[in-house]
């Protein structure tokens, strides 16, 4: 982890986080960075930020099958929910396409959550 990432993690711990574009970019990197225990909070902040810049990082997280998130002791569908909400909130075609892509995940927990979220996208758009 670099100094900027460490500083943003410290800011998250104290509740003094700035929602600047620079900090969003740092959070994007931290979303897939092992070695800290703030991934769920970071996913929620990115969900609220709704930045399309997060999409490639969500893709990388989904590609890992969440090995680096074992510390959460959560099932894959629970962790996938963080990312499905993040993509849902971004709401761009690229974000929705990524949800749809992962409905075909070999990991049943990920697939199930993405199918559920895709149904919500479709009902929102009708």
Report which secondary-structure segment, H or E, holds 36: none
Contact 4, 26 (CB under 8 A): yes
Domain that holds residue 113: 3-125
Q: How many domains does the chain have?
A: 1
Chain segment 55-102, per-residue pLDDT in tens: 999 999 999 989 999 999 999 999 999 999 999 999 999 999 999 999
DSSP state of 66: T
State the Cα–Cα distance between residues 118 and 60, nearest whole angstrom: 19
Helices then strands, each counted (H, E), the chain: 7, 0
Place of tokens 């075909």: 104
Q: What is the pTM of this model?
A: 0.91
Contact 73, 39 (CB under 8 A): no
What mean pLDDT comes out for the span 17-28?
Answer: 84
Chain segment 31-61, per-residue pLDDT in tens: 999 989 999 999 999 999 999 999 999 999 9
């Amino acid at each position: 982890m670099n100094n900027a990432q460490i500083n943003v993690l410290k800011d998250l711990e104290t509740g003094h986080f700035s929602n600047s574009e620079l900090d969003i970019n740092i959070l994007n990197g931290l979303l897939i960075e092992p070695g800290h225990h703030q991934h769920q909070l970071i996913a929620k902040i990115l969900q609220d930020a709704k930045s399309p810049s997060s999409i490639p990082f969500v893709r990388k997280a989904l590609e890992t099958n969440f090995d680096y998130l074992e510390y959460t002791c959560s099932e894959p569908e629970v962790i996938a929910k963080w990312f499905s909400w993040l993509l849902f909130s971004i709401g761009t075609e690229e974000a929705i396409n990524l949800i749809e892509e992962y409905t075909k995940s070999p990991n049943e927990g990920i697939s199930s959550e993405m199918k559920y979220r895709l149904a919500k996208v479709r009902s929102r758009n009708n």
